[in-house]
């Protein structure tokens, strides 16, 4: 999960990394007041979950509170790089002498954290890596020990910084590593780390991405993670505790298990069909899971005329067939939509039988063979 700039800066602050004085606002009037309370020139920064805002016009300097208000009014509600701007960060403007880059991420090759610094800040590091690779210095970090002071100094000194700036930048890098580690981040970046004309070092931007697999360790962030998923149906899927992937064809697919879902997609493909989306609910199917999953695909079908058929596959090893059938029917009775339903019920022999008995006469086309079920779904979709 990506964090907003102001959220990352809040974490930086907790770890002693200097950040500009700033206030988050969502109206023009609040922006004006923020500029008044900061009491000098400010930068008005659109808060979106993507970088490169500077170039796209999402970062503007305001000389006066009145101007901050005007800029805020222009930016709020604006669409910037595919994101709607709902919040702004109004910050004291820094007088920039120099901009450098520092970041911590995971090195794909070694699987270890890697600390990276570059004298070329303010530009995306990917771009620097292409155009000026010689300006980048990096060092793998042993996660047992963390980033040690001398390692940080060694690394930062490769940017030709000396004296107080070197000491200050090195200690910021150590703290940045601690932020990275404490929040289980995949990437933690300060770009640019500004050296002001008075010689202060300040983190002018933050880019932080938390590894979604560790969100359970950060319950306060886990709560907001789902709301941040951009795509409506993906978000609905996550709310249902499942994984939804949109695919663009006309067969909506659900299966309890990612491998199972992928195999179904593969077979649909092989039979000349086109999956419209798939929903993977995870292994154990409860009544609730079944209801939420089928309900989601029914709602999708209701709102998207491209979907011609829903194919549900349940493999019941531990999942009780009564719960599976009940959840299925609860969804069908709740979300009324005229769409053909094909279901493949597999798993333990007694479970298959029981589920088919329970669903008989409901209008759902029931199959024991995966191939036959897929054939039927593809046939309906091709009509």
Which residues are part of the catalytic machinery? 101, 189
- Which residues are CB-neighbours of 134 under 8 A, at least 6 positions away? none
Beta-bridged to residue 101, according to DSSP, are: 118
Q: Which does 268 bind (CB under 5 to 8 A by kind): Mn ion, ligand GDP, none?
A: none
Q: Which does 280 bind (CB under 5 to 8 A by kind): Mn ion, ligand GDP, none?
A: none
CA 115 distance to own-chain centroid = 22
Question: What Rg, from alpha-carbon coordinates, does the chain have?
Answer: 27
Contacts to Mn ion from residues 157-196, by CB under 5 A: 191
What 3-state class would DSSP assign to 24?
strand
Asked if residues 252 and 313 have their Cβ atoms less than 8 Å apart, the reply is no
CA 188 distance to own-chain centroid = 14
CA 379 distance to own-chain centroid = 36
First to last CA, the chain: 41
**If binding is defined by CB under 6 A, does position 204 make contact with ligand GDP?**
yes
Query: Within 10 Å of residue 213's Cβ, how many Cβ atoms?
Result: 9
Give the whole-angstrom CA distance, residue 275 versus residue 260.
14
Contacts to ligand GDP from residues 99-128, by CB under 6 A: 99, 122
Q: Using CB under 6 A, which of the segments 50-58, 208-216, 337-345, 372-380 binds ligand GDP?
A: 50-58
Asked if residues 190 and 176 have their Cβ atoms less than 8 Å apart, the reply is yes
* Residue closer to ligand GDP (CB basis): 23 or 94: 94
**If binding is defined by CB under 6 A, does position 43 make contact with ligand GDP?**
yes
User: Would residue 241 be called left, alpha or beta, if left means φ above 0 and alpha means ψ between -120 and 50 degrees?
Assistant: left
* Residue closer to Mn ion (CB basis): 205 or 236: 205
Asked if residues 290 and 300 have their Cβ atoms less than 8 Å apart, the reply is no
Cβ 305 to Mn ion shortest distance, Å: 42
What 3-state class would DSSP assign to 45?
strand
Contacts to Mn ion from residues 249-278, by CB under 5 A: none
CA 32 distance to own-chain centroid = 32
* Residue closer to ligand GDP (CB basis): 118 or 191: 191
Cβ 351 to ligand GDP shortest distance, Å: 53
Site size toward Mn ion, by CB under 5 A: 2
Q: Using CB under 6 A, which of the segments 22-30, 48-56, 239-247, 329-337 binds ligand GDP?
A: 48-56
Position among 1, 59, 72, 332 found at the interface with ligand GDP (CB under 6 A):
59
Contacts to Mn ion from residues 47-106, by CB under 5 A: none
Q: Enter the DSSP assignment of 376.
A: H
Query: Within 10 Å of residue 230's Cβ, how many Cβ atoms?
Result: 9
- Map residues 63-102 to x or -, x wherever contact with ligand GDP holds by CB under 6 A: ------------------------------xx-x--x---
* Residue closer to ligand GDP (CB basis): 94 or 174: 94
Cβ 15 to ligand GDP shortest distance, Å: 19
Cβ 9 to Mn ion shortest distance, Å: 12
DSSP code string of 128-141 = HHHH-GGGEEEEE-
Cβ 58 to ligand GDP shortest distance, Å: 7
Contacts to ligand GDP from residues 311-330, by CB under 6 A: none
Contacts to ligand GDP from residues 146-185, by CB under 6 A: none
Residue with token string 């941040």: 228
Cβ 319 to ligand GDP shortest distance, Å: 46
Q: Which residues bind ligand GDP (CB under 6 A)?
A: 43, 51-54, 59, 93-94, 96, 99, 122, 191-192, 204-205
């Amino acid at each position: 999960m990506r964090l907003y700039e102001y959220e990352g800066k809040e974490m930086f602050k907790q770890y002693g990394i200097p950040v500009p004085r700033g206030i988050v606002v969502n109206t023009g009037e609040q922006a004006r007041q923020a500029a008044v309370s900061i009491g000098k020139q400010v930068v008005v920064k659109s808060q979106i979950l993507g970088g490169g805002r500077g170039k796209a016009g999402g970062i503007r300097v305001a000389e006066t509170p009145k101007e901050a208000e005007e800029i805020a009014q222009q930016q709020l509600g604006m669409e910037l790089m595919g994101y709607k701007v709902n919040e702004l960060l109004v910050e004291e403007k820094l007088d920039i002498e120099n901009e450098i880059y520092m970041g911590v991420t995971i090195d794909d090759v070694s699987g270890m954290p890697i600390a990276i610094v570059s004298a070329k800040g303010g530009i995306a590091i990917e771009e620097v890596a292409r155009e000026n690779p010689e300006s980048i210095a990096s060092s793998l970090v042993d996660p047992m020990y963390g980033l040690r002071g001398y390692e940080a100094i060694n690394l930062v000194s490769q940017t030709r910084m000396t004296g107080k700036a070197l000491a200050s930048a090195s200690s910021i890098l150590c703290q940045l590593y601690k932020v990275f580690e404490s929040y289980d981040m995949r990437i933690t970046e300060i770009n640019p780390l500004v050296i002001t004309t008075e010689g202060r070092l300040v983190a002018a931007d933050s880019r932080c991405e938390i590894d979604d697999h560790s969100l359970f360790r950060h319950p306060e962030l886990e709560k907001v993670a789902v709301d941040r998923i951009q795509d409506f149906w993906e978000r609905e899927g996550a709310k249902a505790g499942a994984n939804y992937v949109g695919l663009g064809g006309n067969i909506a697919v659900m299966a309890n298990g990612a491998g199972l879902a992928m195999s179904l997609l593969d077979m649909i493909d092989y039979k000349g069909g086109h999956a419209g989306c798939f929903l993977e609910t995870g292994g154990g199917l409860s009544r609730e899971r079944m209801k939420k999953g089928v309900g989601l695909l029914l709602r999708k079908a209701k709102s998207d005329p491209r979907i011609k058929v829903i194919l549900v596959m349940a493999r019941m090893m531990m999942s009780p067939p009564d719960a599976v059938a009940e959840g299925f029917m609860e969804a069908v009775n709740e979300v009324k939509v005229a769409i053909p339903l094909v279901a493949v019920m597999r798993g333990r022999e007694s479970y298959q039988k029981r589920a088919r008995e329970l669903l008989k006469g409901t209008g759902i086309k029931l199959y024991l063979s995966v191939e036959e079920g897929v054939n039927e779904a593809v046939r309906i979709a091709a009509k």
